[in-house]
Amino acid sequence: MTGVVACILAVVTIALGLLPVVGLQPISGVPLLLLWGLFFGGLSVGMQTWMIKAAPAAVEAATSLWVGVWNLAIGVGALVGGAAIDRLSLPATVGIAALSTLAAVLAVAVGAVRAGPRAQPTTRRPVATP
C-alpha cells in the first residue's frame, strides 16, 4: 500500500509543480488539473485503506482517527493557502502546495525504507476468556 500512496503523491506533486509553469493556458492547464484531481481523489481512499491495514483489530478507531486527520489537513491547507494567496500570488501558492506534497512523498518513502521490505501489518487475535 505504501507504493500506491507514494505513486499517487508523486503524480499529484508533478501535476502541481507543472501547473504554474506550463498550465497557464487552458490547453495545458485543464489536463494538469484533471490529472491532479483524478489522483488526489484516490489519495483519501488509498490512505484510509493503508490505515485500516495498519490497524485491522481497530478499524473503527483507525477510521475515526483518519477522518480527523484528513479534516485537520484540509483546514490547515486552507489556512496556509489563503495566507499565501493574500501575501504572495496564486502561482506561488500552487508551488508551495507542490513542495508540501513533495515533502509528503519523501516522508512516505523514508517511512517505507525504515519499515523494511517485510513490514506487514499483523492481525491481533482476541484473547479468549474462560
Phi-psi region of 89 (alpha: psi -120 to 50; beta: other; left: phi over 0): beta
Residue 130 forms part of a structural domain: no
Residue 120 forms part of a structural domain: no
Q: What does the alpha-carbon distance between residue 51 and residue 25 come to, in Å, rounded to a whole number?
A: 38
Residue 19 forms part of a structural domain: yes
Split into its structural domains, the chain has a count of: 1
Domain that includes residue 109, residue range = 2-115
Residue 23 forms part of a structural domain: yes
User: Could you tell me the pTM of the whole model?
Assistant: 0.65
Per-residue pLDDT tens digits for 22-78: 877 888 889 988 988 888 888 888 888 888 888 888 888 888 888 898 899 889 989
Q: C-alpha distances in angstroms, 71 versus 31, 74, 104?
A: 27, 5, 17
H or E segment and range at residue 45: helix 26-54
Indicate the length of the chain as a whole number. Answer: 130
Residue 20 forms part of a structural domain: yes
